[in-house]
Amino acid sequence: MRPLLLLLVLIAGVWLWRSRQGAADKSPPAKPEPRKPLDMVSCSRCGMHIPGDEIVIGKQGAYCSVDHLQQSES
C-alpha cells in the first residue's frame, strides 16, 4: 500500500510541475495595433458619408459609387 501511495504522489508532483511549465512558457498574445481613422467624405449626389479610400472622384466632386458619378456628370 505504501509504494502505491508514493507512486501516486510522485505522479501528481510531475503532473503539477509539467502543467506549471506549460503555463509559464505561453506568453499572452500581442495586441494588434489600432487602425488609424480614415477621413470621411460625403457624396456630392446623395450626401452619404464614406471612407476616403472608397470614394469615386469625378469632375464635380466625390461620389459614393460609379452610378452616382454617372448620374451627376452625364
Q: How many domains does the chain have?
A: 1
Does residue 28 lie in a domain region? no
Does residue 1 lie in a domain region? no
DSSP secondary structure letters along 40-66: EEE-TTT--EEEGGG-EEETTEEESSH
User: What is the model's pTM?
Assistant: 0.52
Does residue 57 lie in a domain region? yes
Does residue 25 lie in a domain region? no
> CB of 46 within 8 A of CB of 33?
no
Does residue 42 lie in a domain region? yes
Does residue 67 lie in a domain region? yes
Does residue 12 lie in a domain region? no
Which domain does 70 fall in, by range?
38-74
Per-residue pLDDT of 6-49, as tens digits, reads 899 999 999 998 888 766 566 677 888 888 888 999 999 999 99
Does residue 7 lie in a domain region? no
The span from the CA of 49 to the CA of 38, in Å, is 11
